[in-house]
Amino acid sequence: MKILVCISNVPDTTSKINFTDSDTKFDTNGVQFVINPNDEFGLTRAMWFKEKQNATVHIATVGDVSVEPTMRKALAIGADEAIRVNAVPTDGFFVAQQLANVVKDGAYDLVIAGRESIDYNGAMVPGIMASLLKMNFVNTCISLEIDGTNATAIREIDGGKEKLSTTLPLIIGGQKGLVQESDLRIPNMRGIMMARQKKLTVVEPVEGITATKDTKFEKPAAKGAVKLVTSVDELVKLLHEEAKAI
């Protein structure tokens, strides 16, 4: 089985976010980038298929050279090869077109993508890829088993879970639950050293459509000042007179 895991290079959630050029561009200065968490769950599941079913695991990312440290981390975790589409990701539709072309050229049996990235939260790339490639698709996937060319998946739905049977080739939008957080892997020194020798191929982007454009970013409003209350009577008074809650 040949697996492609789509990896997004996203800011660490602890990073302080700022914007430049009149709030029209994201400021990357001082920001630590990591593998998108939903993609990391997918990568860990792909490693299980590699170890248990002798699958081959490739990763793919759309980005410039700055994304390569994140790709090397995925290789250190255990992926066999990496493919970087040499383009700055402008929107989800553009990214999906580029990754769809990688899937088509590589003839993959299973494509694992995160259901969404934690930076823009578009939740569109795996679904658009499946539509472009006319492949079976399961979104919000929290369990996946493969037996030959047959697949059994469980996905989250409103109010519960749904169990599905389908066949390869298949694209999934994975998330937490595909593996447990305790199963996530930290690269060891041997993996880091081996990652330096693994193949990282850079391909030029195909002509694609950019469907949207960022015009301005805005931070959430700052939290208000905290008032320390030292007694129940004072709390009741504030709730009544200031907050108008009672």
Q: How far apart are CA 111 and CA 129, in angstroms?
A: 10
What tokens appear for 210 in the block?
Answer: 């950019």
Q: Is the pLDDT of residue 181 over 90?
A: yes
As beta bridge partners, residue 34 has: 10
pLDDT band, very low/low/confident/very high, at 209 (cuts 50, 70, 90):
confident
Tens of pLDDT, residue by residue over 65-74, are 999 999 999 9
Confidence label for 195 from pLDDT (cuts 50, 70 and 90): very high
pLDDT for position 91: 92
CA 116, CA 13: separation in Å to the nearest integer? 15
| Closest listed residue to residue 153, CA positions, set 2, 1, 45, 26 | 45
Question: Helices marked H in the chain — which ranges?
Answer: 37-53, 68-77, 92-106, 125-133, 189-195, 232-241
| Distance from C-alpha of 49 to C-alpha of 55, rounded to nearest angstrom | 6
Has residue 224 got a pLDDT over 90?
Answer: no
Provide φ and ψ at 95, rounded to 5°: -60, -45
Q: Hey, which of 8-22, 155-169, 221-235 has the most confident mean pLDDT? A: 155-169
% of residues, the chain, pLDDT over 70: 100
pTM here?
A: 0.88
Query: Which contiguous run of DSSP H or E holds residue 26?
Result: strand 25-27
pLDDT of residue 12: 93
CA-closest candidate to residue 42, choices 101, 126, 104? 126
Q: How confident is the model at residue 149 (pLDDT cuts 50, 70, 90)?
A: very high
Contact by Cβ (8 Å): 6, 39: yes
CA atoms within 13 A on the CB side of 111: 34
More confident of the two residues 18 and 223: 18
Residue 189: per-residue pLDDT: 92
Give the model confidence (pLDDT) of 32-87 as tens digits. 999 999 999 999 999 999 999 999 999 999 999 999 999 999 999 999 999 999 99
- Token pair belonging to 8: 């997004």
pLDDT at 90 over 90: no
| DSSP category for residue 13 | T
- Region 198-203: what's the mean pLDDT? 97
User: What's the CATH class of domain 2-220?
Assistant: alpha beta
| CA diameter of the chain | 71
Range of weakest confidence among 126-140, 159-173, 224-238: 224-238
Q: How far apart are CA 83 and CA 72, in angstroms?
A: 11
Pairwise CA distance, residues 109 & 104, whole Å:
10
Q: Domain-by-domain residue ranges, the chain?
A: 2-220
- Residue 157 confidence class, pLDDT cut points 50, 70, 90: very high
